[in-house]
Amino acid sequence: MSIRVVIADDQALIREGFSVLLNAQPDIDVVAEAQDGEDALAKVAEFEPDVVLMDIRMPVVDGLEATRRISATGAETKIVVLTTFDSDEYVHEALRAGASGFLLKDTSARQLAEAVRTVASGGAMLAPAVTKRLIADFSRFGSLQAPRVQRLESLTERETEVLCLIAQGLSNAELANHLVVAEQTVKSHVSRILVKLQLRDRTQAAIYAYEAGLVQRGS
């Protein structure tokens, strides 16, 4: 079955451009476009897409609030936030709100399609430049409050190691190679980490690791 996508952006040119690029893929179908966050909420309710490409800065309801509301419904829809990087200040807030990743608006067609497929299958996608910014942000600001940090005690030594490697951007295949284990074993570790820390996906796991002080900038 095709991956169903909604594109939410207040600029018609961007919506139409992304629609053309994604509809050219045999396994992706853009089912609707939304011109602001409120419209995005309505389109998600109507079409129940697998993925929403969500601009941050939109009128009426911005992308951050729309992301928060969609996540709060418990819907299976995954959200990839679109950012201009230099002007957006809500990267980590959107991840906490439930976004599964970030893409720069000048991303290539290949990267755009890859991101849609990755988050639709339960993975996470962060543009490298955005990842660097996240690391810098969490190096400057404080760590998590004690109740969330205490959940780390439930992780085994190997699970803590996997969490740190996730935060450094390693894929499951790269984790398996680094740890010299089967990829299925890595998937099992990741699943247990998400359950124990009450997190939604790998992206939130990476942010958790930085917030908890397990990984520092440059590590």
pLDDT at residue number 178: 92
Tell whether 44 and 151 lie within a shared domain: no
pLDDT at residue number 145: 45
Total number of domains constituting the chain: 2
Tell whether 11 and 114 lie within a shared domain: yes
Tell whether 90 and 179 lie within a shared domain: no
Residue at 216 is within a domain? no
Tell whether 59 and 148 lie within a shared domain: no
Residue at 75 is within a domain? yes
pLDDT at residue number 89: 65
Tell whether 22 and 127 lie within a shared domain: yes
Please, what are the averages of pLDDT over each run of 10 residues along the chain (219 residues)? 95 94 96 97 96 93 93 89 70 78 84 88 71 59 50 90 84 87 92 88 78 62
pLDDT at residue number 108: 86
Q: What is the pTM of this model?
A: 0.69
Tell whether 15 and 30 lie within a shared domain: yes
Q: What is the CATH number of the domain that holds 150?
A: 1.10.10.10
In angstroms and rounded to an integer, the radius of gyration of the C-alpha atoms of the chain is 17
pLDDT at residue number 218: 43
Q: d(Cα 166, Cα 171) in Å, to the nearest integer?
A: 7
Tell whether 119 and 65 lie within a shared domain: yes
Residue at 76 is within a domain? yes
Tell whether 86 and 25 lie within a shared domain: yes
Tell whether 21 and 111 lie within a shared domain: yes
Tell whether 12 and 95 lie within a shared domain: yes
Q: Domain end: 136, 167, 182, which one?
A: 136
pLDDT at residue number 62: 92
Q: Domain end: 114, 136, 158, which one?
A: 136
pLDDT at residue number 91: 72
Instruction: Supply 140's token pair.
Output: 């400057």
Tell whether 130 and 43 lie within a shared domain: yes
Residue at 217 is within a domain? no
Query: What is the domain extent for residue 101?
Result: 3-136
pLDDT at residue number 217: 46
Q: d(Cα 18, Cα 166) in Å, to the nearest integer?
A: 29
Residue at 219 is within a domain? no
pLDDT at residue number 114: 86
Mark 58-67 as b/e (b = at least 16 C-beta within 10 Å).
Answer: beebbbbbbb
Instruction: Supply 217's token pair.
Output: 């900038």
pLDDT at residue number 110: 87
**DSSP assignments along 86-122, one per residue:** SS---HHHHHHHT--EEEETT--HHHHHHHHHHHHTT
- Do residues 130 and 104 lie in contact, with contact meaning Cβ atoms separated by under 8 Å? yes
Tell whether 132 and 39 lie within a shared domain: yes
Q: Domain end: 82, 101, 136, which one?
A: 136
Q: What is the CATH number of the domain that holds 39?
A: 3.40.50.2300
